Amino acid sequence: MQQGSDTLNLEQALGIIRRRLPLIVLCVVIVAGTVLVFSKRETKKYTATASLAFSNDQLSQQVAGLPPTSTGNLLAQQANNVELVRRGDMAAKTASVVGNGLTEEDVAKSLSIGGQGESSIVTIAATDTSPELAAKIANTYANQFVSEQQDANRKYFKSALTLVHKQLAGLTPQQRIGGDGLQLQDRAQTLGLLSELNYGNVKVAEEAVPPTAPSFPKTSKNLAIGLLFGLLIGFGLAFVLERLDGRIRGPKDLESIYNLPMLGVVPTTSALAGSTRRKTGRRKELPPAAAEAFNLIRAHLRFFNVDRDLRTVVIASPAPGDGKTTIARHLAEAAARLGSRVLLVEADLRHPTLSQQPDIQSGAGLADVLIGALPIGEATQSVDVQGSPGEDTRGRTLDVLSAGEMRPPNPGELLESHAMDALLEQTRSTYDLIIIDTPPLTVVSDAFPLLTKVDGVVIVGWVGRSRRDAAELLHQTLDSSQARLLGIVANGAKSSTADHAYTLAPTTATTKSQAAVASNNGSAAPEDKPVPMVRS
């Protein structure tokens, strides 16, 4: 992820997730596992629910001779019913009936009373560590409430009957047989019957049964929440670490930093990893994908410079370990395979590595030539060119001028000397292409004088290893120089990136990159020339 960018597209986000997938999976496993362990260790609790059904027939008001009340607001009536069930001393009575050492506070804490929308149903839920005890508490509370309501209704009807008897006693015999008297007598008969019955406007609609599964903890739900939180934490850590990580993640990062065209993407392979090993045997044969990558770099170099004579090319990188020596060696071989006369020059006089390769002998080299100890012909050695599988490279050789065994105390002065200018001039007349491997540009300044003496500079960056700050520092330094920048090579890319990052097809987008290169080189870009390199 580019640290200087405020936006993140889908492709970059998916790339971050893919790179940080082990971290994301680890966060999910840790969080979900922790939640699962705590859920398993929690004491299981069970919830049993009983239901009460309230009646709105208003019989008590009618038989008492009172006008019916309005019941239009069902929600308000439901709220009144729920509050009625909660009030009173039901908890204490339930604790007394159930026993088992329960107190009023225990019953009150275990209960949850609520309504069901606009219905006349009120639920009584009791929670306990025992499913049987939870069901017993809920049923006892419901039955106690119904019994109390029935007792209250009986008292109400008896008091109403007493009042009706007083009214009848105050009537004359003539009034008793009149309409009002007969109506009072009917009411007295109804009230007398109701006062003897267990009438109530509420009844148990459904009894609680012992639950078979615990209501707490909800292991499945907790696990799902743990997985979600683990995923969110993993994503968060992945993007934070990506933001803090200063490594270059892909070829596009190199393009955005240097503002140069991508000349090629070199895949990771053991054959390239062993290119600079000490003399332990023969060099490994390059796989076809790696060999073709260097052929493409060679072709792109020629294409982007169709109007210029590209004879001397510096291969540079911002820091050690970017693989510039390997790129320089195989790029030189790719040109030699086509029949060109190629010279590979190792200009890293401080830490040379070419002589460690199996087919290159240690001995005199560039340092000896620059101080006049040897002519270039005696310090140069020819090595056989390595071909692709099935390719005939018999008779094709590559000339190599290594740094030499001598470590000069003034490598920067030697590379800036007139002797180096004379060597470049001499080799230009002898070879079709001279590729120069230099020390890291942000570590030492030895190679900077060479940048303006050659026909072009190629920057190498190792995907997933090179530091962004080092690349940006080099870009700022090169911007202020007169170096002719040709393009960049992404080294160490995954095989999928190397295979699909570029295809041969003309586009307008890469023509702009060609124009940028031509601008750096001080020449105009060729018009109407399709660039054979496009991001897929």
Under DSSP, the state recorded for 281 is S
Interatomic CA distance for residues 76 and 239, integer angstroms: 51
pLDDT at 67: 53
CA-CA distance, 112 to 47, in Å (whole number)? 10
Is 444's pLDDT higher than 80?
A: yes
CA nearest neighbour of 203 among 255, 166, 148: 148
Query: How many CB atoms lie under 10 A from the CB of residue 203?
Result: 15
For the ranges 137-141, 142-146, 372-376, 503-507, the lowest mean pLDDT is seen at 503-507
Residue type, 79: A
| Cα 291 to Cα 333: distance, rounded to the nearest angstrom | 10
Between 458 and 527, name the one with better pLDDT.
458
Per-residue model confidence (pLDDT) at position 376:
93
Residue 401 bridge partners (DSSP): 345
Name the DSSP letter for residue 354: G
Q: Which CATH class is domain 251-535?
A: alpha beta
Q: Amino acid letter at 329? A: R
487: left (phi over 0), alpha (psi -120 to 50) or beta: left
Q: Domain map of the chain by residue range? A: 10-41+220-244, 46-216, 251-535
Cα 461 to Cα 251: distance, rounded to the nearest angstrom: 9
Res. 348: pLDDT tops 60: yes
Across the chain, mean pLDDT equals 81
Q: Under a CB-based contact definition with an 8 Å cutoff, are residues 313 and 456 in contact?
A: yes
CATH number of 46-216: 3.30.1890.10
CA–CA separation, 515 and 522 (whole Å): 10
Task: Give, in order, the Cα–Cα distances in Å from 305 to each of 30, 337, 425, 513.
Answer: 55, 20, 20, 12
Retrieve residue 308's tokens. 């210029």
Q: What is the pLDDT of residue 134?
A: 93
What are the pLDDT digits (tens) for 8-22? Answer: 678 778 878 888 899
The string of pLDDT tens digits covering residues 23-43 is: 999 999 999 999 999 988 888
Residue 170: pLDDT band by 50, 70, 90 thresholds?
confident
Q: Give me the phi and psi of 278, to 5 degrees please.
A: -70, 170
Q: What is the mean pLDDT of residues 106-131?
A: 89
Structure confidence by residue, pLDDT tens digits, 285-317? 777 788 888 889 998 887 766 667 789 999 999
Tokens representing 149 are 């309501």
Contact residues for 66 (Cβ-Cβ < 8 A; gap 6+): none
Calculate mean pLDDT across residues 391-409: 85
Global pTM value:
0.58
Which stretches within 308-446 are classed as H helix?
Answer: 324-337, 366-370, 376-379, 411-415, 418-430
Sign of CA dihedral 17, 20, 22, 28: negative
What letter does residue 393 receive in the DSSP assignment?
A: -
Q: Is the pLDDT of residue 157 over 80?
A: no
Confidence label for 516 from pLDDT (cuts 50, 70 and 90): very low
The structure tokens listed for 46 are 């069970």
